Amino acid sequence: MIFEKPEKFEISEHMIPPQMSITIDDAKAIAKTFSDLRMRYHAAIREVSTKLEVLDNEYSLKHDYNPIHHIQCRIKTIDSIAEKIQRKGWPMEIESIYKVMDFAGVRVVCNYIDDIYAVESSLLRQDDMKLIRRKDYIKNPKESGYRSLHLIVEVPIFLSDRTYHMPVEIQIRTIAMDTWASLEHELKYKRAEEMPEEVLQELKACAKSMTEIDATMQRIHRMF
């Protein structure tokens, strides 16, 4: 897995919208905080991804089987952070940035449903991993049909002068779940208008069909 070097975010006076009551010094302070946080979160997702890769390699050696199909990582952009702060109704200030728990995200795509819980159990067994929040949208799917296991964990990163404990969101799902979620996101969130009700029902039907496929593939896998 290749990680990009975290970029330094800089701001100039012409970048501040006139409707924002903020000084250039305040804006620069926010930009510095954002750059520092991005660096720490890059380190945090490296830690989590490395742990997952080690577990996958161990499964391969012990069981001649890899439960993880692939891993994806992402860091929220400053626009995405600002949108979330606004949506939550938080004040547009530096302190609000620290409230965003999914600043860094790791998506783990597994082959089968059993693999999801096996990866979760193995990961959370590690002493330096602290579980902050858990939401199981597989056993309790969202109304839309979305399924995935969401974890927010706290992981230590060791810098030159101190140790930080950084939250990272981990989404663990099967290939079928990931396919549905990716297509649903493309259809729903990339459109300016709301989805028609009949389309939403079709998406829910697709989610149900993929759930049945996951269950069938799981049964077949357990036969071997």
23 exposed, middle or buried (CB, 10 Å; 0-12, 13-18, 19+)? exposed
95 labelled catalytic? no
Measured in degrees and rounded to the nearest 5, phi and psi for residue 106 equal -125, 125
Token pair belonging to 148: 């995935």
**Which 3 state secondary structure label does DSSP give 29?**
helix
DSSP code per residue over 176-209: HHHHHHHHHHHHHHT-SSPPPHHHHHHHHHHHHH
Q: Which residues of 119-155 are buried (b: 16+ CB within 10 A; e: fewer)?
A: bbebbeeeeebeeeeeebbbeebeebbbbbbbbbbbb
| Spatial contact of 119 and 172, defined as CB atoms under 8 Å apart | yes
Cα–Cα distance for residue pair 213/132, rounded to 1 Å: 31
Cα–Cα distance for residue pair 105/101, rounded to 1 Å: 9
Catalytic: which of 120, 169, 184, 198?
A: 169
Measured in degrees and rounded to the nearest 5, phi and psi for residue 65 equal -155, 140
The residues that are catalytic are 169
